[in-house]
Amino acid sequence: SAVISQKPSRDICQRGTSLTIQCQVDSQVTMMFWYRQQPGQSLTLIATANQGSEATYESGFVIDKFPISRPNLTFSTLTVSNMSPEDSSIYLCSTLGSGANVLTFGAGSRLTVL
Amino acid sequence: GQSLEQPSEVTAVEGAIVQINCTYQTSGFYGLSWYQQHDGGAPTFLSYNALDGLEETGRFSSFLSRSDSYGYLLLQELQMKDSASYFCAVRRKAGTALIFGKGTTLSVSS
């Protein structure tokens, strides 16, 4: 299955700033997915990122707040804009494995907003 | 809307058997998956059911009944290392992301 490298692994940010999370996959993949997981909670899908087209956002998430780039088939970024303490969470990127039924996750980026 | 319901917590002792149930209500269904997540770690895949019936992988088995919108994960011969959160997840259509349940925290004691 694909290996996903995600960075930063953690960061402490000030309110009102923005942070970009990078996700690198060791093989070409069609779709990448971005999830958010608040402490002790489930994984919530933010958006699906396809190469060559705009990301598709889930209800409750908007492009202005979470802009996503997908410049090629191995890389994607998620920016958390104008952060507030409510954005403190773990952000995970993922992709479908070769079996097409298995999601592989990066290790996650733990953001704390003060 | 869509929802996946599973118990929030389960406790058991080493060597025991535990069943974690999941009922779902989603717009579209293309299979039920189970993921394990240890504290501080990323979710990892355990099993996938597209059709009704039982899938067995070592100590873990998963069951699906599409007519009942229900599935379960069965963990046998529990070990301390099985202490983790377990999530059921539904794919609404082929090639799309998963929608996850709230997760079940399993605590295994000696």
- pLDDT tens for residues A25-81? 999 998 899 999 998 899 999 999 988 888 999 999 999 999 999 999 999 999 999
**What distances in angstroms separate CA B99 from CA B29, B75, B92, one per listed residue?**
11, 22, 8
CB contact (8 A) between residue A106 and residue B102? no
pLDDT at B62 over 80: yes
| A47-51, A94-98, B21-25, B65-69: least confidently modelled range | A94-98
Mutation target to probe the A interface, by most A beta carbons within 10 A, among B22, B45, B64 is B45
Mutation target to probe the B interface, by most B beta carbons within 10 A, among A3, A43, A57, A110 is A43
pLDDT at B72 over 80: yes
Q: For A101, left (φ over 0), alpha (ψ -120 to 50), or beta?
A: alpha
Measure A84 CA to nearest chain B CA, in Å. Answer: 23
The pLDDT assigned to A96 comes to 85
Are A32 and A95 in contact by the 8 Å Cβ rule? The answer is yes
Residue B46: pLDDT band with limits 50, 70, 90: very high
Q: What integer best gives the mean pLDDT of chain B?
A: 94
Residue A99: pLDDT band with limits 50, 70, 90: low
Which residue in the block uniquely carries the two structure tokens 């690198």? A24
The pLDDT assigned to A12 comes to 97
- Is residue B87 less than 8 Å (CB to CB) from chain A? yes
CB contact (8 A) between residue B42 and residue A100? no
- Chain A residues touching B45 at Cβ < 8 A: 97, 102-104
CB contact (8 A) between residue B42 and residue A107? yes
The pLDDT assigned to A98 comes to 62
Chain A residues bordering chain B (beta-carbon distance below 8 Å): 30-31, 33, 35, 41-45, 48, 92, 94, 96-97, 100-108
d(CA A22, CA A8): 7
- 3-state secondary structure at position B76: coil
- Is residue B71 less than 8 Å (CB to CB) from chain A? no
3-state secondary structure string, B31-55? CEEEEEECCCCCCEEEEEECCCEEE
B66 backbone dihedrals φ, ψ, rounded to 5°: -70, -35
CB contact (8 A) between residue B102 and residue A41? yes
Q: pLDDT tens, B6-45?
A: 999 999 999 999 999 999 998 888 899 999 999 999 999 9
The pLDDT assigned to B1 comes to 66
Q: pLDDT tens, B79-93?
A: 999 999 999 999 888
Measure A15 CA to nearest chain B CA, in Å. Answer: 24
- Rg for chain A (alpha carbons), in Å? 13
Residue A10: pLDDT band with limits 50, 70, 90: very high
d(CA B13, CA A108): 31
Give the amino acid at B82: D
